[in-house]
Structure 1
């Protein structure tokens, strides 16, 4: 195994482990719904997006129309467009086959570790191998968690609170990135906007919060650089 692959696995392992209980939560949601377990598990392979999958299962269980279900999933996953924009410069150096296939493995965790890695590594092959190893490990834990959730969902006591896995995973993504003032400001802004806009439908508050956080972080970064440039 190459060094970039080992580095990808090592870097992604903590976040991959956090994806397993999130997958467990999804599996339990499937079992508690009227959706076939096989259909629910197929979502983990076809969609690979936990929050969107949970929303889709809940909407289907409630009898929502397919356009509503699909539209909701697309809205929730608009954050992937932000990740794609950040990763596009690195992916543009990959062969076409990789540019078309690797985005399938894009998740919050894979994006976070790869964006950080790409800031320090410039070789396209090292970037590609790192991303592939990290993203596959994360996806693998998610798939295993989904299967375990479906298999064990009916035997998990109702009083067992496994819902903590979802916020815990996103906290695991957030904390390592809080390394300077602009990132802290971006995180705080996003958190405040997310809560303030919680009444928006279909998880739109998450997208609005992400955009607000990016804007505030960019503004703070610009001011910081201007201050450093002053004599």
Structure 2
């Protein structure tokens, strides 16, 4: 699994993370995007020893798509502030089981995370959870699945996965949240049909808006098979 570099300068980097790769290292010791980036910068810029890698946001391990990183702490601080203020725009594509009743809409939910189980659930009492907002529209309809464009305005853990599953539309391959079958990434590991398709941010030093599109990888399940078979096949 090798990330695809989509944009790079002296301050920031945008890569297309493959499904199956961790964004940040954890107790498993598996390779992560952060460690890959550090190794890449050591080699590219001939910098032995430690190098700074600022991960501005994360994608779940089974999700692919655009991830923004910073090369300096100053750039990281400015980009992280944009993220906190909701000024970084992210657009996702998802393929879900079933069909939608409307062509577009917006969801507002309250989510609570069980950190021990690494699961998130929708709660009815807003005092128990954190608000999660996302707009959506239908891009393509099949007999058993639907392709959606999703624009979250908040960045909660597992947000889109839980908001879709809570409406009976689990993302294809997302067995954790109720999907009826699994999908495989290019390396044979588990993936879900969720892809961070585009990211837009203000450059930390130049002030201009940068918009980057991440092409879908070869394991993206938008094929004739995905649109002709039911999710339970």
TM-score normalised by L of structure 1? 0.29
Q: Which has the higher strand share?
A: 2
Structure with the greater relative contact order (CA < 8 A, sep ≥ 6): 1 or 2? 1
TM-score normalised by L of structure 2? 0.29
Structure whose CA Rg is larger: 1
